[in-house]
């Protein structure tokens, strides 16, 4: 039997990116493949708090529902992973930060805003900001739990420095990728290609820490 990594997200782009980086040692699936899991609540003030909360919510749902048990029994090891990540723009005092996915959402909305809306709001706010002050970084925090468990989540983090462009470039990636140019590169995250991005991104750094942890702590059998 194989090892299963359940990612606490319904974002197909994020699941694909994590699967590509983590490698074939794990079967990587999104939480929606297990059943009708309710939306996970993100109300923390930090990436660490949100990632921990989401993986704990997923763990509780699995403990309380029999629906996904057949899938779980077909694997020798079950790991739960939650990711909270976002963009910090220095000229905006670190915003959008933990609200990156909801940056352009209205107060009446309970869900995320579209990538286009978020990017447009960011460009509007930075309209009069000169290039040298458009510095930013992507940050990612991963929270890992073995299932079932009563242990605290293990945290792994990564960041990627860069700058915000004055317009969107490229059709790859997702989120703010078309606006973000990593340090040392002349292409945006949406242009750079998954092979390069998966070596330098904030999520790649956090996942590399995770892989090293599993190798040294015996997480994957």
Nearest to 28 by CA among 142, 149, 191: 142
d(CA 93, CA 66): 45
Per the model's pLDDT, the better-predicted residue between 26 and 79 turns out to be 79
With 0-12 CB in 10 A as exposed, 13-18 as middle and 19+ as buried, what is 175? buried
Mean pLDDT of the chain: 91
Model confidence at 3: pLDDT above 50: yes
pLDDT digits (tens, 9 = 90+) for 95-112: 999 999 999 998 656 678
What would the mean pLDDT of 74-96 be, rounded to a whole number? 95
Q: Contact 145/59 with Cβ under 8 angstroms?
A: yes
Percent of the chain's residues with pLDDT above 70:
96
Instruction: Note the CATH number of domain 2-217.
Output: 3.90.950.10
Span 186-212, average pLDDT? 94
Q: Return the beta strands (E) in the chain as ranges.
A: 2-7, 26-30, 75-89, 135-147, 154-164, 180-182
Active site residue 84: yes
Average pLDDT over residues 121-146: 97
**Following CA atoms 118, 89, 52, 75 in sequence, which dihedral angle do they give, to the nearest 10 degrees?**
70
What is residue 109's predicted lDDT score, i.e. its pLDDT? 61
- Provide the pLDDT for residue 120: 98
Residue bearing the bigger pLDDT, 116 or 66: 116
Print the SS3 string covering 143-175. EEEEECCCCCCEEEEEEEEEEECCCCCCCCCCC
pLDDT for 209 beyond 90: yes
Confidence of residue 221 (pLDDT cuts 50, 70, 90): very low
5 pLDDT more than 70: yes
Q: How many CB atoms lie within 10 A of CB 128?
A: 6
> Using an 8 Å Cβ cutoff, are 195 and 12 in contact?
no
Q: Which residue shows structure tokens 């040392």?
A: 184
Name the residue ranges covered by the structural domains of the chain. 2-217
Active-site residue identified among 45, 83, 84, 90: 84
Q: What is the mean pLDDT of residues 135-139?
A: 98
> What confidence category does residue 20 fall into, taking pLDDT thresholds of 50, 70 and 90?
confident
Q: How far apart are CA 157 and CA 84, in angstroms?
A: 10
Q: Which residue has the higher pLDDT, 174 or 75?
A: 174
């Amino acid at each position: 039997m194989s090892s299963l990594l359940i990612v606490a997200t319904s974002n197909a782009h994020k699941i694909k990116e994590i699967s590509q980086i983590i490698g074939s040692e794990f079967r990587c699936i999104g939480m929606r493949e297990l059943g009708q899991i309710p939306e996970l609540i993100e109300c923390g003030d930090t990436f660490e708090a949100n990632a921990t909360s989401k993986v704990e919510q997923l763990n509780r749902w699995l403990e309380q529902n029999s629906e996904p048990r057949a899938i779980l029994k077909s694997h020798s090891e079950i790991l739960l992973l939650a990711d909270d990540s976002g963009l910090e723009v220095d000229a905006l005092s670190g915003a959008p930060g933990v609200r990156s996915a909801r940056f352009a959402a209205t107060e009446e909305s309970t869900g995320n805003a579209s990538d286009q809306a978020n990017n447009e709001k960011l460009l509007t706010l930075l309209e009069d900001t000169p290039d040298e002050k458009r510095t930013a970084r992507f940050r990612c925090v991963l929270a890992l739990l073995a299932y079932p468990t009563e242990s605290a989540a293990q945290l792994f983090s990564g960041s990627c420095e860069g700058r915000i462009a004055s317009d969107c470039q490229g059709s790859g990636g997702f989120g703010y990728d078309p606006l973000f140019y990593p340090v040392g590169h002349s292409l945006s995250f949406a242009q750079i290609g998954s092979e390069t991005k998966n070596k330098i991104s904030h999520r790649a750094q956090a996942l590399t820490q995770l892989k090293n942890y599993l190798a040294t702590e015996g997480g994957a059998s």
